[in-house]
Structure 1
Amino acid sequence: MQPFIAAMQKVRQAFLAAIIKSFLRTKHVLQTILNIWISPSVIKDENGSISSRNGRRLGAAEFVEVVENAFRGLVGRTRLVALSDGLRKEFLDSMYDNPLCMLPSYNHQLPSGEERGTFLALDVGGSTFRVALIELSGRKSDGQECKILKRNTFKIDRTVKQLKGVLFFDWMAERIEEVLSGQAEGHDMSNAPLTMGLAWSFPIEQTSLRSGLLQAMGKGFLAAHGLLGQDLGDLIQESCSRRGLNVQLNAIVNDSSATLLSKAYIDPATRFALILGTGVNAAVHLPVHVFSPPKFGVRPPEWHNSAKHVIVNTELSMFGRGILPYTQWDELLLSVHPNPTFQPLEHFVSGGYLGEIVRLVLVEGIQTAGLFGGVVPPSLRERYSLETETLSHIESDLSPNLTKAQAIFLSRHPTNIPPSTTDLQTIRLIAAHVTHRAAGVVAAGVHALWQLRNEAESILPHESSHTLVAYNGSVLENYPGFKVTCQKHLDTLVEASGGKKGSIELMYAEESSLLGAAVAGAVASLDG
C-alpha cells in the first residue's frame, strides 16, 4: 500500500509542477488548466516544446491534433458567445470616453438609392491613387446602379511619396486632370462643378463631411510636411483650382465608411461594413443618442439638428485585450512585438499576422515532431517570412500530391530538404486551424456590433430583419473558405442569441472605396 501511495504522490507532484511551469510561462492559469484538460496526452519540456507524456517525440498527426485542440477548442459556440459579449461591453464603454475607438463620422445619412448623376471618386492608398468617373443611376436599375465610365490607377512610388507638402496635392490634381481630359462623351463639365468624393486611407481629424485636419501620413509620405493641421479638403481643392479644374470636393470618408455606403446604395438592408486584409476594421450605422456628447467633439448646430444616426468607424482592431482566445503561439508572437497591446484583435485575424502565427506553429512542429526532417528552412527562421498569401495558395491546392503547393512553397522558401506531401498536408491543416479561429473571432466582433445595434434600436433578436455586412479585403475575398467559415460562425452566434439563421449576411462590396466615395459625394451634394 505504501508504494502505491508514494507513487500517487509523485504523479500529483508532477501534475502540479506542469501546471505551475505552464502558468509561469503564459500567466493564463485558466487557459493552462483547459489546455491540459483538452490535451491530456501531451506535455511540454523545460524549453516549452511539445512531447508525449512518455517522453517520446510526437508524430506529425499527433502534433496537428494538439494544434487543432489549441485553436478550434477556443472558438466553440459557448466561448464565441462569451467573446461577443465581452467585445460588446468594450464597444459600449468606448462610446463614452475612448478617443481612439467607436468614432462617429460626419456621415449621418445613408443613401436613399435615388441619387443620380456623374461623380468623380478619388481613392488614396498606401501604394496607389485611383481616380474614377462614376455614373449613379439609382437603386432600381437592374444591376446597373453604379457604372464606372473611366478609371485610372496611378502608382504611388518612392518619388511620389517624397513630394513635400502641396507638391503631393498638385500631383494628385495632375492625375485628376488626366482622367477628366479623356472623359466619356456626354458629360459636359463646362457649367456646374463636378462633385468629388474622397476615400482617404490615412489619419485626419475630420471637422466636417468635406474637411479634416491633415496629420502625419506615415509609410514614407512627406505630403504633410509643413502642412500639419491644415485642411485636407482645402488643400486638394486649391490644387485642382490652380489647374483650372471645375470640380468640388464634397465628402471625405475612410475605407470602412466607403464600403458601407457603396453597398447601402444598392441594398438598403446594409448597416455594417467589414474590412479584412492586411489589417481589420468595421463600420456600423448607429443612432446618435447612444453616444456621450463629448464623442462628437465640436460640430455645428445644423449637424446635430439633422443627424439622427451616424456611420461609426469602430477601429475594431483595437478591441479584445485580455478576452481574446490566446494560445502559446500568440504569446510568442506578442513577446517580440514592438507594440503588443495596441491592436489586439488584429493580431488574431488579419493577413498581416496569420502567416506569422502559422510559421511559429510550424517551426515548433519541425523541432518537436520531425516535420521537414527536423530541419527548419533558413527563410522560416525569419519573423513574418511566411506570408498569408502563401498559405492561401497551399490551402487552395486540393490535388493528392499537392504539386502546386510544393512549387509555391519552394519558390518562396528554398531548402535542401524539400517538404514531403505529409509536410505540406500538415501545413495546410495548421493553417486551416489558425484561420478557423480567426474566422470565429471576426464573427464574434460582427455579432457584437449586431447586438449593439439591435439594443440601440430596441430590436429583439428574433425580430431583427435581414441585415447585410458589406465586406472587402484580401482575406475575406481570397483566402479559401474564410468567408464561408465566418458566415457559419455568425449563424451560430445569431441563433445562440435568439435570432434567426441568416439574419445577418456577409456580402461582397465590389470596388467599395471608389463607389463609396462617389456615393458619399452624391449624398453630400443633395444634403447641402
Structure 2
Amino acid sequence: MQPFIAAMQKVRQAFLAAIIKSFLRTKHVLQTILNIWISPSIIKGENVEAEPSTQEVRKLGAPEFVEVVNKAFHGLVGRKRLVALSDGLRKQFLESMFDNPQCMLPSYNHQLPSGDEQGTFLALDVGGSTFRVGLIELSGRKSGDEECKILKRSTFKIDKTVKQLKGVLFFDWMAERIGEVLAGQAEGHDMSDAPLSMGLAWSFPIEQTSLRSGLLQGMGKGFLAAHGLLGQDLGDLIQDSCSKRGLNVQVDAIVNDSSATLLSKAYLDSTTRFALILGTGVNAAVHLPVHTFSPSKFGIRPPEWHDSAKHVIVNTELSMFGSGILPSTQWDELLLSVHPDPTFQPLEHFVGGGYLGEIVRLVLVEGIRTAGLFGGVVPPNLREKYSLDTETLSRIESDRSPDLSTAQAVFMSRHPTTIPPTPTDLHTLRLIAAHVTHRAAGIIAAGVHALWQLRNEAESILPQESSHTLVAYNGSVLENYPGFKVACQKHLDTLVEASGGTKGSIELMYAEESSLLGAAIAGAVASLDG
C-alpha cells in the first residue's frame, strides 16, 4: 500500500507542477499582451530602438527634458566639433571653386572701393516685397565729413498688382518710381549734364555677363516681369524704361545682396573682406584671388576683365554647403523628413530664420507630449508646420521681466490655447530656443572661419600673422535676435584661437543700409573705373 501512496503523491506533485508551469506561461502571455496593449509604438510597428533618445525623454520630467535638449544642441558645437566642421566646410568650398556651377560664384566686381570715390549716385534695391530707391552722396574717408549720406530715400511696396505687371511694364513701373525720387533733386544739388550713375541690388537670379549686364531669368515669388523677356539684358531693360521717361541716368553696376554688403562696409573700412547675410535665409561673400579658381568658373569674359582682375568678390551661396557634415539632431531629421527639397540648402535648414522657429516648434511639441510642458496640451495652431516663427521667439527671448508677462502676451496672441502657459513654461520655451540658436551661431561661425582660413591660404598668410579683418553683416537674425551676434562672435574667437590666430582677428560689424549703399558704391567704382 505504501508504494501505491508514494506513487500517487508523485503523480499529484507532477500534476501541480504542470499546472503552475502552465499558469506561469499563461501569466507571461498575459503580460506580453498587456505590454503590447500599453505600447502604441509596437502596435504601430515602430522600431523602438531606432530613437533611443526619444524613448529616454518619455521617462523624464520637464527639467530633465530641457537638459536632454541642452546636451543635444550644445554638445554639437563644442570647440573640437566646430573646428572639424570648419575644416569640412573649407574642403567643400575648395571643391566648389573648381567644378560647381551653383556655388562659389565669381562676380564681375573685381575691385573693392578705395574710399576716395566721391559724387552723387543713384541706388536701386529690388527685393521680394519692396523696391527701394536712394540718392546717395559719397564724400570719401578723408573728407572729414560723413562718408556716405542718403540725400533721399523712398520705399515702394511691391504688392500683388505690381508683381503681375508683365514684361517691360514692370520696368516701366520701376522707372516711374525712380522719376518720383529724382523730382526736384536739382534744387540744392549740382545735377550736371552727365548721366547720374546708377547701381542696382537685384535679389533674383540672373546670368551676369558684365558688371552692368545680366541675362534675365525667372523671378518666382509671383513676379511676371520676366514674361516674354527671358534671356534679355536686365541692365538694358531698366535703362530703356528710364530713357523713355527722359531720366538722365545710367546703369553702371548690378550686384547681389552679399556683394552689396561687402562693398558698403569696405568703402568705410579697408579691412573688410567678407560679408554675411542671415535673415530668413543665409549667404556670404568673400574677396579672393582670381588664381584660386578653375578658369571654367569665370565662363566667357572679355580679355580686358582678366587683364585687370587680380581679385574678385565671390558669391559663395553659403546656404548650399554642409551636406553630410552638419551637426544634426533627431528634430532636424524630422524637419527634413517632410521637407519638399531636403538636400538643396543644407546649411540654411540649420541656421536660417525661416527654419529656427520650426526646429524649436518640433522640440517644444515633443516636450509637451512627453514631458508635460504646457500642461501636456499642444496649442492647436502649434500642430501646424512652421506655425512658430523666429520673430516670435526673438520677442519672447527679449522679455527679461520676472513674470514674463510680455512673452506670455506675445505667445497667447499668436498661439491661443485653453491652458495659458505659466512663467515656468515660457522660461522652458526660452531655454529651448536659446539652445537651438546657440547651435546656429556656432555653425555660422564655423562657416565664416572656414572662409577666413580659405582666404589666408590663398594669400599665403599664416593664422598668427593675419591682420584684423571685418565681416560686414546684416539680416534680421544677426541684427535683431537677442544675443545671436554676441554668441557668433564668441564662437569665432574660439575658432581663431584654435587655429593659431589671435582673438579678435575676425570682427563682425553691422553694415547699415547695405543694399542701397553697396549698390551706389558699386556704381561709383564702375563709373570712375570706366
Q: Same fold (TM over 0.5)?
A: yes
1:61 aligns with 2:68: no
Q: Deviations over 1:492-519 (max 9, x none)?
A: 0000000000000000000000000000
Aligned ranges 1:40-439 → 2 under 5 Å: 43-45=53-55, 50-52=57-59, 58-142=60-144, 144-183=146-185, 185-439=187-441
* Match 1:500 to one of 494, 499, 502: 502
CA contact 1:390–1:408 (8 Å) conserved in 2: yes
- The C-alpha deviation readout for 1:238-282, integer Å capped at 9, x for no partner, is 000000000000000000000000000000000000000000000
Q: Which runs of 4+ in 1 moved over 3 A?
A: 20-25
Aligned mates of 1:492, 1:22 — CA distance in 2: 39
1:194 aligned partner, one-letter code: L
Distance in 2, Cα, partners of 1:100 & 1:183: 41
Residues 43-91 of structure 1 show CA distances to partners (whole Å, capped at 9, x for unaligned) of: 433xxx7223xxxxx2111100000000000000000000000000000
Matched residue, 2:482: 480
SS in 2 for 1:492: helix
Q: Which amino acid aligns with 2:164?
A: Q
Aligned residues: 485
What is aligned with 1:5? Answer: none
Paired with 2:144 and 2:371, the residues of 1 have a C-alpha distance of: 56
Deviation string 1:157-185 (CA, Å, 9 cap, x unpaired) is 00000000000000000000000013262
Find the aligned partners of 1:362 and 1:286 in 2 and give their Cα distance. Answer: 42
Superposition deviation, residue 142 in structure 1: 4.5
Shift of 1:449: 0.1
CA contact (8 A) 1:472 1:510 kept: yes
State the secondary structure of the residue aligned to 2:77.
coil
Q: 1:23, 1:109 → 2: CA distance?
A: 57
Rounded Cα–Cα distance in structure 2 between residues aligned with 1:365 and 1:22: 18
Q: What are the Cα deviations for residues 104-140 of structure 1, in whole angstroms up to 9, with x where unaligned?
A: 0000000000000000000000000000000000012
Larger Rg: 2
Aligned sequence identity (%):
85
Q: Deviations over 1:359-403 (max 9, x none)?
A: 000000000110111010001000000010000001010111100
| 1:448 counterpart residue number | 450
Q: SS of the counterpart of 2:58?
A: strand
Report the TM-score when normalising by structure 2. 0.90
Equivalent pair of 2:139/2:145 in contact (CA under 8 Å): no
Tell me the equivalent position of 1:516. Answer: 518
Unaligned runs of 5+ in 2: 1-45
Distance (Å, rounded) in 2 between the aligned partners of 1:86 and 1:167: 47
C-alpha spacing 1:356/1:516, structure 2 compared with 1 (3 Å): same
**Residue 213 of structure 1 contacts residue 232 of structure 1 at CA under 8 Å; is this kept in 2?**
yes
Report the TM-score, using the length of structure 1 for normalisation: 0.91
Distance 2:429 2:241 in 1: 51
Using the alignment, how far apart are the partners of 1:378 and 1:166 within structure 2?
46
Alignment partners' CA distance in 2, 1:388 and 1:143? 39
- Matched position secondary structure for 1:152: strand
Deviations 1:271-308 (A, max 9, x none): 00000000000000000000000000000000000000
Return closer, same or farther for 1:304/1:354 CA change in 2, 3 Å cut-off. Answer: same
